Structure 1
């Protein structure tokens, strides 16, 4: 958990409500995300002394001081500079009588743990901490969390830079819309102002701000766009920032409309919905205009796995499978996609618990990682019985979850006992599936034909004669033909997988 400190100005409760209008009394907290740089410093100053449009229906208006609250997230990336940034923000908030919360998070350690880059990890942390604080303050104030506002200091310059950054990476209309003016509770009231205008405002008021040296490091894409690309573009068009702001607004409006159309289409196409699973009508999806179909697929994938990092190739691959009427692909670390029988199945990936690598004594039992029990025992074939028919009837009765095999053929001595090896699927595993008359097949292909989801295959237990021996049973999918019962079978090996 991140460390937290709060400081409140004055002797009043931060939620002493004004005696004025009822709508102000019911309004939620307004959180100012302040790093200490020029833009966020200006945001704090303007929120405390001027009017801002926070998209609450009032247009540009003064924000009741009792609603304001500053949040500063110390990423612990810049040593003493980060500590000085924190102190600067705390003092500035106190100067204007605004409560301040400090959250400290080791972003470098977080990025290393998650495999993300530091820039993305830091951004995610800031918004997570803002959302958490908004919830806390809303509960204390007794207002719905939807009434809270989280204000960021993004400017017209940030919007232009983000446009080029997304274009360089490759994106669609949503990415080219750049930074939206509002997304849920997050509002960006400074998008129509430039960084230079805000710096001038602070200079006129004699207010200093903090500079982050990493902003000049062009190894970061934003810094590269800011210091290398934007000056070149501005020489061609000095008003490019304003021009791109208009372009982004147009794209944003059109993107919002297409998104609403796609949302309706997704609802119409949904045939089944469960936790981590979405099933769509593939034929009707294939009939949609490609511009809407792309958005439907994107929305569906994110509905199944909100953390999925989608790329254009994942959307295109899904639509190719839909057009072909069959196929599968995997969105890395996110979703398994499969088209079959006229349906598009999207399933969130999860790591199935792998079976233990252990000896199974015969007779004996082992508990699997998912809690199921695998048991083994030997039985003498009754005199005069049709052992083959008995084995077939047993398999049907148990729906494949228990099998009768020839003990000796499976490598078990019926008189002295024995043992079998149980573990998971190995690359290149093959068996001769029971009923295929000795024809060999890869176990991975067998699982695919049995429609075992990709994310569950690692958890399928495989019973072998030894750690390096042949496969006896892929439980509960198929036994090996070479261990089947024959008229010569004298001793039965019964293998059963069951709930504990």
Structure 2
């Protein structure tokens, strides 16, 4: 196995040879073999061990065992202790999920602090099969059927092509010792049920099941690569990137494809969406219809779907500007106020007003129903809701609108239009330039 492992590294993970590696070691068979193999290949390694305090004295003996192993192979040793049950209760997680969060957060911290390039974990082919079956049983797409990624950012799993049988044979041949986790014998967890009950039956039906599974995973990864390249092409066609982290998705272009629902699934799955029937219906819904994920929302706006992050609700936030202040930061930018002697060019980010007409402190707030203003260059007043409709502002754009006000009167719909009541005239003595950047 040593030669096969070495060949696999050279062919697929050659960057590890020149890297500083932190190995996650529980003391079990798989992580002990991984540590030993990396030691035999003279990699620069450190050993990291988590004591989750879940099995009393057994957990402490695991910690001592990994310390002894680290000393034997002359590798730096890192250890931490977690109150896993307390963490799981406080964060409303299962023990397994709590342990996963705790260890990965800690591995990342240690790697950063001690400048390890990669963290190696000892997942292998049998683990990959278990993950595949778990995802299959829960219902999944192609991403869930491609198994555990061999490289996932800083985390690398160099034992993925090797079976538990190969790993065990190597350990016995090299007289390695390891710790047996008693909880692995319990069938309380779905992974253990598959390991002890389901997979042995599959191997009895077909002794080549594991190698055939590995071929299947490789075929699925090729399919996934092809699908992703197609999705990239579609994304370039239908996505239009706008300001404020908003993506405009062309409904017309999307509907030119044979299966818009499948296209939307691949385009939006990374944004946390799951209500695919609702998303499909939004294509033909009225403007303003929305679908939410935990992190993003999708809004129908005429011929587009607007995709944007869910942001903090600031509808009740109000900012005041005393006369002595010349700038203030609001969520959409920095407002600058400056007395000037003459006009220069204006645009939607700049207005000029007669300072003597202002009542301080000025106020910056969100718009609300019933607000009206006197549009610069027009006669009479107009409700903001009607102005937004005439300007064809989307729901998202309306939500981002801020108003600069004097007392209760609107001076400026920021980034859009000034109010006629504060415009300069030949009698203006104090000219105030207002800009947002």
Asked if Structure 1 and Structure 2 have the same fold, meaning a TM-score greater than 0.5 normalized by the shorter chain, the answer is: yes
Instruction: Tell me, yes or no, if the aligned pair for 1:336 and 1:454 is still in contact at 8 Å.
Output: no
CA distance in 2, matches of 1:393, 1:168: 53
Q: Tell whether the 8 Å contact from 2:298 to 2:308 is kept in structure 1 after alignment.
A: yes
Find the aligned partners of 2:114 and 2:52 in 1 and give their Cα distance: 22
Aligned with residue 44 of structure 1, among 35, 50, 53 = 35
| Secondary structure at the counterpart of residue 280 of structure 1 | strand
The change in CA–CA distance for 1:281 and 1:120 in structure 2 (over 3 A counts) is farther
Residue 298 of structure 1, aligned match among 269, 281, 301: 269
Determine whether 1:189 maps to 2:158: yes
Match of 1:29 among 14, 17, 20: 20
Cα distance, 1:353–1:224 mapped onto 2, change above 3 Å: farther
Match in the other structure for 2:208? 239
User: Match for residue 118 of structure 2?
Assistant: 149
Aligned-residue offset at 1:355: 6.0
Report deviation, 1:70. Answer: 1.5
Query: Who is 2:193 aligned against?
Result: 224
Asked if the contact 1:77/1:107 (under 8 Å) is kept, the reply is: yes
**Normalised by the size of structure 1, how large is the TM-score?**
0.56
Q: Please state how far the C-alpha of 1:164 moved relative to its aligned partner.
A: 0.6
Name the structure 2 match of 1:137. Answer: 114
Asked whether the equivalents of residues 280 and 344 of structure 1 are also in contact (C-alpha less than 8 Å), the reply is: yes
The alpha-carbon distance between structure 1 residues 275 and 29, as it changes in their structure 2 partners (threshold 3 A), is farther
Corresponding residue number in structure 1 for 2:167: 198
Kept in 2: contact 1:261–1:292 (CA 8 A): no
User: Retained in 1: the 8 A contact 2:291–2:298?
Assistant: yes
Query: Counterparts of 2:15 and 2:161 in 1: how far apart (Å)?
Result: 26
TM superposition shift of 1:39: 0.7
Q: Secondary structure at the match of 1:70?
A: strand
1:26, CA displacement in angstroms? 9.8
Q: Is the CA contact 2:25–2:47 (under 8 Å) kept in the aligned structure 1?
A: yes
Matched, 1:173 2:134: no
What is the CA deviation profile of residues 198-220 of structure 1, one whole-angstrom value per residue up to 9, with x for unaligned ones? 12222232222112222233232
Query: Displacement of 1:273 after TM fit?
Result: 4.8
Distance in 2, Cα, partners of 1:292 & 1:264: 11
Please tell me the root mean square deviation across aligned C-alpha atoms, in Å.
Answer: 3.9
- Quote the Cα distance in structure 1 between the aligned partners of 2:33 and 2:59: 19
**CA 1:393–1:268: 2 relative to 1, 3 Å:** closer
Shift of 1:292: 4.3
- Tell me, yes or no, if the aligned pair for 1:33 and 1:153 is still in contact at 8 Å: yes
Aligned-pair distance for 1:434?
A: 13
CA 1:315–1:118: 2 relative to 1, 3 Å: farther
TM-score, structure 2 as length reference = 0.64
2:123 and 2:16 map into 1 onto residues whose CA distance is: 28
Structure 1 partner of 2:434: none
Superposed CA offset, 1:195-243 (max 9, x none): 1221222223222211222223323221122122212222222221221
- Distance, in Å, in 2 between the alignment partners of 1:324 and 1:345 is 13
- 1:341 correspondence with 2:302: yes
Q: Which residue in the other structure is 1:256 paired with? A: 225
Q: Cα distance, 1:324 vs. partner?
A: 5.3
- Comparing 241-250 with 223-232, greater Cα deviation is found at 223-232
What secondary structure is seen at the aligned counterpart in 2 of 1:209?
A: coil
Please say if residues 297 and 315 of structure 1, whose CA atoms lie closer than 8 Å, have aligned partners that are also in contact: no
Report SS of the residue matched to 2:115: helix
2:54 is matched with which residue?
A: 77
For 1:26 and 1:193, locate their aligned partners in 2 and report how far apart those are by CA, in whole Å. Answer: 19
Q: How many residues matched?
A: 326
Cα distance in structure 1, aligned partners of 2:31 and 2:370: 74
Question: CA offset at residue 183 of structure 1?
Answer: 2.5
